[in-house]
């Protein structure tokens, strides 16, 4: 028996996809992904219209989707993150229906609960066998973990695996297994390795970023949480990675044995695992080749599903035991609400990803960002879009000062007398405005171009059209 | 001051502004900025202040702003104006 | 207090804007080697505008000007920045007392022109030639504006026709000479940057060595080295504690009408008291005093 189908075109026909239905993709191939564009091109050729794409993320590589929105093939988008030209086009109001943004935990929760139904899931797989057992750890387009693809594969009505590395049955080290898979298509290439994972992720060399990273590591050191059993997540931004690197030095010097590191995994987290800072890495996606290699070879480095990572409805998720998470921000306001969906002009250039999941689950959610970017102040009276509610954000670290959320007096007490530049949020904002001047408020259109669904399923904010 | 020749100052690096001045009849300010919505009016005011301080009434000035602070804008406009003087 | 001095290229708005938060006690806006000849005007105008507009808090601002051999840039540099009252001016390639006198005379003019008190602008001459090192004491005592001396090993080793090494044996004489000259003249003395910005251990070794020779601080071309330099040139808690004990012992001795006293079996003489006072003064400056 074999589930092999000759082409994407035939697989779409076999799936029974009709106009008005919802298809899904994962984003583990990131900006190197060829699969989404290839599938939607074939859907267009078949004359199917009015499709909703539920992808864990859209990148600049998916800009051809803009044409399919204009020609009516695609009428709705749902995701956790959106960047590049497609974000600019959506912000300008190209879609009639608002984009639905969910967090990395909220997306699988809604798929599993049935709130967000997927008719056909297309799973790009760096390695697969003829029955659909598949993995991201092997093959020329290896991306490491496939965490975001599990809910889609397990709960869509019909599941098509698309691979460029077909191996003899059975693939032993599978991530997603054949019991969920309807069809397998072999193509020449599922992606461009250069866009999938960077060769190595680099810590910042920017002196301002290093000052922030130093403050972040010192803050964690004095937070009261840095002791045996410590758990930690950080993003792949240059300053966050530098903070992780400083933290590693502190943990090794003080002989602290943490429990787990989590996230998007990079070389720096792998180094911390190898150095003994953690006994386990919990990996929902890999950012670089070192992470992919480690996931393949180190038994302490575990792939998890997006639900296991961050679902708000699972019996438990790994974010619930997180001590400290380091997160970014394009804007933060006086109430500590954070925006990572839009830039300061209101143009969509991101999304929650795991931002509001980890902020809610962790004991300390730390935002690290420069107080002034070019001429734009980080701190506003009210953010253009609330990605993560301020009540779950505990501390802001900038190069010129650190502000602790007033709802965390015990954290403030721990940081007093450490020499760290602790300031009131309002004073920090004044400092920023003194450097930049006061920006004129942005004027936005009346049309809602996106709805932001918080991890608990409630609508937390709307993003307005940019005019 | 009279603008007699074309000259440039600044760079296109982040936090800098590239300024080009050339002879013109009347003041013509052409501003391109990554923070146009937030600071466009402010930048125009600052450019006019610098031009006033050098008593420059006839000039075509183009600014490609990469998020420069006010002090940088002042410096680059002044540099461009003073540079053409030496030409 | 000048433990660390950080060089910042004078024509880089991003670095100039953030210079105050990089941890250095002083920042040096460089109008000389870090600026291309056709950008000298842009750099000095940028530095002047930044000094006027931005708040650097307690960070000391030093401006490195061009050498008097270079096209008269140095005069234009002084014209632009003196009115903004920098903490110090760093003249470069200083060869002898006459060089300083020439600079100082022109600063007199600029100060008068701007209704500033004549003599208010201070100098930290950069010695980076063999002749400069040989004339170190004459330079250090050449003018009341001089508050510190600074050695630059890159140009110096080229002039000495030797290779610049991490160990720095080739500049031992020059370092010792400038420290001796500066101390004899009663001014501070700052060591040359350690130029391998990726060597985090090397900077500590080099800074400790400089401190052991008598330098009061060290310059850096990388913000990454600033913390290490500050740590090395700060008194340790033990040193601070001991300094307080010395002063206490002296007080007690006075109260008891004793002339000579000892602490831990060691005679407390005038140099030890002076050292203790210096340690406490620097502890106060960096906020670790009692």
Q: How far apart are CA A384 and CA A462, in angstroms?
A: 9
Distance of CA C43 to the CA centre of its chain: 22
Domain residue ranges in chain A:
4-56+104-196, 207-442
Among C15, C21, C55, the residue with its CB nearest the CB of A211 is: C21
Phi, psi of A159 (to 5 degrees): -125, 125
Residues 6+ apart with CB under 8 A from A47: none
B55 part of a folded domain: yes
HEC string for A403-444: EECCCCHHHHHHHCCCCCCECCHHHHHHHHHHHHCCCCCCCE
**What residues of A are in contact with residue B35 (Cβ under 8 Å)?**
374-376, 439
CA distance B38 to chain A (A): 4
- For helices C153-160 and C172-185, the axis angle rounded to 10 degrees is 120
pTM of the model: 0.90
Q: How far apart are CA C140 and CA C124, in angstroms?
A: 9
Alpha carbon of A306 to those of A116, A122, A301: distances in Å? 15, 17, 16
Which structure tokens are listed for A33?
């992904």
Query: C235-251: b or e for each residue (b if 16 or more CB lie within 10 Å)?
Result: beeeebebbeebbebbe
Which structure tokens are listed for C248?
């206490």
Closest chain C residue by Cα to residue A374: C14
Residue C48 confidence (pLDDT):
97
Which structure tokens are listed for A301?
């480095």
**What residues of B are in contact with residue C53 (Cβ under 8 Å)?**
69-71, 74
Residue C102 confidence (pLDDT):
96
CB C178 within 8 A of CB C189: yes
Nearest to A105, CA basis, from A321, A324, A361, A329: A361
Cross-chain residue pair B82–C46, CB shorter than 8 Å: no
Q: How far apart are CA A339 and CA A433, in angstroms?
A: 19
Residue B87 confidence (pLDDT):
65
B1 part of a folded domain: no
Range of the domain at B64: 7-84
CATH assignment at residue B34 = 3.30.230.10
Residues 6+ apart with CB under 8 A from A367: A327, A328, A329, A332, A338, A393, A395, A396, A397
Cross-chain residue pair A440–B39, CB shorter than 8 Å: yes
pLDDT < 70: residue spans in chain A: 198-200
Fold equal for A4-56+104-196 and A207-442:
yes
Report which secondary-structure segment, H or E, holds A450.
strand A444-453
Which structure tokens are listed for A385?
């879009």
Report which secondary-structure segment, H or E, holds A155.
helix A150-155
CATH number listed for the domain at residues A207-442: 3.40.1080.10
Query: A75-84: b or e for each residue (b if 16 or more CB lie within 10 Å)?
Result: bbbbbbbbbb
Radius of gyration of chain A (CA): 22
**What residues of B are in contact with residue C52 (Cβ under 8 Å)?**
71
Alpha carbon of A380 to those of A39, A386, A436, A461, C6: distances in Å? 41, 12, 12, 16, 32
Place of tokens 């290839």: A38
Residues of A with CB under 8 A from a CB of B: 344-345, 373-376, 435-437, 439-440, 442-443
CB A280 within 8 A of CB A302: yes
Q: Is B70 on the interface with C (CB under 8 A)?
A: yes
Cross-chain residue pair A208–C54, CB shorter than 8 Å: no
B2 part of a folded domain: no
B29 part of a folded domain: yes
Q: How far apart are CA A316 and CA C81, in angstroms?
A: 63
Cross-chain residue pair C13–B68, CB shorter than 8 Å: yes
End-to-end Cα spacing for chain A:
56
List per-block mean pLDDT (blocks of 10 residues) for chain C, which spans 290 residues.
94 93 95 95 97 94 93 93 97 97 97 96 98 98 97 97 95 98 97 92 96 96 92 90 89 80 84 88 78
Mutate to test the interface with B, among A204, A373, A375, A379 (most CBs of B within 10 A): A375
Question: Count of CB atoms within 10 A of residue C57's CB?
Answer: 8
Subunits with 3+ Cβ pairs within 8 Å of B are A, C
Q: How far apart are CA A277 and CA A287, in angstroms?
A: 20
Alpha carbon of A437 to those of A39, A338, A342, C131: distances in Å? 48, 21, 21, 49
Alpha carbon of C110 to those of C78, C84, C120: distances in Å? 7, 11, 11
B48 part of a folded domain: yes
Nearest to A359, CA basis, from A382, A386, A327: A327
Q: How far apart are CA A13 and CA A36, in angstroms?
A: 16
CATH 3.30.1280.10 fits A4-56+104-196, yes or no: no
CB A332 within 8 A of CB A386: no
Residue C269 confidence (pLDDT):
83
């Amino acid at each position: 028996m074999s589930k092999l189908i000759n082409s994407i075109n035939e697989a779409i026909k076999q799936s029974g996809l009709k106009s008005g239905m919802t298809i899904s993709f994962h984003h583990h191939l990131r900006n190197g992904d060829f699969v989404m564009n290839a599938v939607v091109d074939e859907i267009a050729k078949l004359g199917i219209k009015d499709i909703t794409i539920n992808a864990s993320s859209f990148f600049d590589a998916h800009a051809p989707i803009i044409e399919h929105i204009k020609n009516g093939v695609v009428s709705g988008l749902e995701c956790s993150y959106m960047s590049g030209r497609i974000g600019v086009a959506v912000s300008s109001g190209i879609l009639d229906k608002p984009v639905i943004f969910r967090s990395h935990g909220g997306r699988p929760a809604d798929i599993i609960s049935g709130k967000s139904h997927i008719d056909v899931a297309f799973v790009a797989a760096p390695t697969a066998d003829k029955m659909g057992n598949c993995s991201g750890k092997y093959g020329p387009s290896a991306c490491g973990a496939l965490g975001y693809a599990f809910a889609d594969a397990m709960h869509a009505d019909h599941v098509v695996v698309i691979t460029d590395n077909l191996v003899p049955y059975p693939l032993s080290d599978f991530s997603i297994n054949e019991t969920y898979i309807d069809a397998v298509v072999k193509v020449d290439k599922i992606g461009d390795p250069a866009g999938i994972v960077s060769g190595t992720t680099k810590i910042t060399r920017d002196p301002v970023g290093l000052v922030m990273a130093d403050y972040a590591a010192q803050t964690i050191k004095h937070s009261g949480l840095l002791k045996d059993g410590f758990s930690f997540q950080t993003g792949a931004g240059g300053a966050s990675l530098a903070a992780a690197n400083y933290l590693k030095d502190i943990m090794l010097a003080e002989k602290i044995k943490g429990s787990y590191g989590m996230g998007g995994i990079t070389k720096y987290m792998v180094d911390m695992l190898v150095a003994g800072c953690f006994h386990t890495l919990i990996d929902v996606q890999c950012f670089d080749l070192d992470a992919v290699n480690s996931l393949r070879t180190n038994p302490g480095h575990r792939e998890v599903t997006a639900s296991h990572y961050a679902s708000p409805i699972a019996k438990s998720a790994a974010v619930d035991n997180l001590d400290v998470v380091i997160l970014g921000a394009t804007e933060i306001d006086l109430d500590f609400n954070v925006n990572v969906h839009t830039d300061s002009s209101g143009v969509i250039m991101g999304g929650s990803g795991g931002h509001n999941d980890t902020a809610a689950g962790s004991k300390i959610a730390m935002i690290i960002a420069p107080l002034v970017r070019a001429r734009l102040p980080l701190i506003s009276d009210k953010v253009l879009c609330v990605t993560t509610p301020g009540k779950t954000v505990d501390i802001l670290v900038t190069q010129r000062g650190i502000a602790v959320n007033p709802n965390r007096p015990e954290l403030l007490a721990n940081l007093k007398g450490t020499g760290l530049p602790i300031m009131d949020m309002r004073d920090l904002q004044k400092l920023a405005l003194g450097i930049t001047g006061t920006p004129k408020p942005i004027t936005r259109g009346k049309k809602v171009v996106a709805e932001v669904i918080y991890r608990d399923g409630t609508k937390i904010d709307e993003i307005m059209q940019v005019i | 001051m009279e603008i007699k020749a074309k000259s440039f100052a600044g760079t296109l690096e982040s936090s800098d502004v590239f300024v080009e001045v050339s002879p013109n009849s009347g003041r013509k300010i052409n501003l391109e900025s990554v923070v146009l919505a937030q600071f466009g009016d402010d930048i125009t005011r600052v450019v006019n202040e610098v031009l006033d301080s050098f008593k420059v009434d006839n000039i075509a000035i183009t600014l490609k702003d990469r998020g420069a602070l006010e002090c940088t804008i002042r410096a680059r406009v002044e540099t461009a104006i003073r540079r053409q003087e030496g030409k | 207090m000048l433990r660390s001095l950080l060089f910042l290229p004078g024509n880089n708005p991003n670095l100039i804007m953030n210079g105050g938060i990089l941890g250095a006690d002083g920042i040096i806006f460089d109008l000389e080697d870090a600026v291309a000849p056709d950008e000298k005007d842009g750099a000095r105008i940028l530095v002047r505008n930044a000094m006027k507009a931005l708040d650097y808090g307690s960070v000391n601002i030093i401006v490195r000007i061009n050498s008097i051999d270079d096209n008269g840039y140095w005069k234009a540099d002084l014209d632009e920045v003196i009115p903004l009252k920098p903490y110090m001016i760093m003249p470069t390639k200083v060869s002898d007392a006459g060089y300083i006198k020439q600079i100082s005379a022109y600063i007199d003019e600029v100060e008068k022109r701007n209704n500033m008190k004549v003599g208010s602008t201070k100098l930290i001459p950069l010695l980076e030639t063999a002749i400069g090192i040989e004339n170190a004491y004459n330079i250090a005592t050449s003018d009341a504006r001089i508050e510190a001396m600074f050695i630059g090993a890159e140009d110096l080793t080229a002039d000495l026709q030797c290779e610049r090494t991490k160990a720095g044996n080739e500049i031992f004489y020059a370092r010792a000479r400038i420290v001796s000259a500066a101390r004899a003249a009663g001014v501070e003395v700052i060591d040359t940057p350690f130029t391998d910005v990726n060597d985090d251990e090397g900077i500590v070794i080099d800074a400790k060595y400089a401190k052991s020779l008598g330098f009061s601080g060290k310059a850096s071309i990388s913000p990454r080295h600033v913390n290490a330099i500050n740590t090395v040139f700060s008194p340790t808690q033990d040193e601070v504690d001991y300094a307080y004990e010395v002063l206490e012992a002296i007080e007690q001795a006075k109260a008891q009408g004793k002339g000579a006293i000892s602490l831990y079996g060691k005679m407390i003489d005038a140099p030890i008291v002076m050292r203790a006072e210096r340690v406490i003064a620097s502890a106060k400056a960096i906020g670790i005093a009692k």
